[in-house]
Structure 1
Amino acid sequence: MNIGTLGAGTVAQAIARHAVAQGHQVVLSNSRGPASLSAVVRSLGPLSRASTPEEAAAAELVVLAIGWPQVPQAVATLPPFEGRIVIDVTNQFATPPPHPKIADLGELTGSEFIAARLPGARVVKAFNTLYGQYIAADPRHTAGRQVLFLAGDNADAKATVTDLTASFGFAPVDLGSLREGGRLMQLGGPLSGLHVLKQD
């Protein structure tokens, strides 16, 4: 599979590392340009490369892993997604830690807000409930596999993300739609920051 990342921070790099380990090709991008990612690409190996956000967004599966305040500008110039899958790993931090403020989206969940700004994308919410170090680490432990919650409105897209993340070693758990599942997963929800293992 060809996987693109919009953003190349801790979480995007962790997902990319899992992906290349399984033989997928990864195109990373950020707002600073491909040259800024040369060291990251070297560490990931020959299945990875850096390019523009537009090219990364053209991959068959795209990981959206940028700061919440940057979302509107970052997605404004992207081409239509035409049914391709976007894994939304964002959390609606309006301001950065140590004293973060949560963006008020009214009745919308964060994932619904994202989906509305990505015409044609099949959005699957995933990875946002886990701290970066748990995503980067091997999800397989002697006590079980790291649970990965996900939600989405398209069953086929969720099945693809379920299969992909299971191949990484995670134990995916489908929570339903972007409205119901997304509400459980987003900041302030009962599953935000919850790290649990599933026994095999």
Structure 2
Amino acid sequence: MNIGIIGAGHMAQAVGSLAIRAGHRVMMSNSRGPQSLSGLRDAMGCETGSVADAAGFADIAFAAIPLQAWRAIPAAPLEGKVVLNPQNYFPQFGRIPELERGELTTAELLARHLPKSNVIKILNAILVEDIVPDARPTGAADRRALPVAGDDLGAKKTAIEFLDQIGYDAVDAGMLVEGWKFERRRPVYCVPLNTAMLAEMLTVTTPDAFMPEGHWRYQRGIRA
């Protein structure tokens, strides 16, 4: 498949490198244009383009830019496509009233901006520095599971297959409205868990369940 990545930071590079390893074509992009990505193109073996180019190229798009920049994601070239949403809300980078009031989840905010796309909440509950080293082959005993949420079953199936190809199991957390269960400061956020443990923790997560910032540092290595 063609993976169009909107963004070229650490998250974009980590997922892009795993996608290339899995045999996909990858186009990286940023707001400064492809001329700024020549070094990355040579290092990764990816294609480069503008944000609009990456959106048009994509069979699956990966929105690897800060949540507060969601309006920079072009809607028209992403119509009918699967858009992976790894974004988390960090208020210090700009407050978003709908999220502050609890009216929307982070993925629903993007889905409202892309009403004709199939937005899937995925790859937000893992530290960027863990993405490449924690990837494992299908069936590995110590394989990590990540939560996924989305409204379109076909799009969610595509996203889960992609996640498997780059090295992770998945647990279906439900519709986008259920994406709050694995947003920042929730019990499963950035904690390495296997499929059974992740599914159990998602089931018992309640709306009032918040953890201290950085809680995952004390829960490393509990996935087995």
Q: TM-score range by the shorter chain?
A: 0.7 to 0.9
Bigger share in strand: 1
1-structure distance, mates of 2:104, 2:13:
28
- 1:1-200 residue pairs with structure 2 within 5 A? 1-45=1-45, 48-58=46-56, 59-72=58-71, 74-75=72-73, 77-96=74-93, 104-140=100-136, 144-180=142-178, 182-198=179-195
2-structure distance, mates of 1:148, 1:16:
17
- 2:220 maps to which residue? none
Deviations 1:108-131 (A, max 9, x none): 111111100012110110110100
1:105 positional shift: 4.9
Q: Over the residues paired in the alignment, what is the CA RMSD in angstroms? A: 2.2
> How many residues in Structure 1 have an aligned counterpart in Structure 2?
192
Superposition misfits of 4+ residues, deviation over 4 angstroms: 100-103
| 1:42–1:138 CA distance, 2 compared to 1 (3 A) | farther
- Comparing both chains, which one has the higher relative contact order based on Cα–Cα distances under 8 Å and sequence gaps of 6 or more? 1
1-structure distance, mates of 2:134, 2:192:
14
Bigger share in helix: 2
TM-score normalized by the length of structure 2: 0.79
Task: Answer with 1 or 2: which has the greater Rg.
Answer: 2
1-structure distance, mates of 2:20, 2:148:
21
TM-score normalized by the length of structure 1: 0.87
Residue 4 of structure 1: SS of its match in structure 2? Answer: strand
Amino acid at match of 2:154: D
Deviations 1:80-129 (A, max 9, x none): 52210000010011325xxx978515321111111000121101101101
2-structure distance, mates of 1:14, 1:27:
13
Where does the alignment leave 5 or more consecutive residues of structure 2 unmatched?
A: 196-222
1:165 positional shift: 1.0
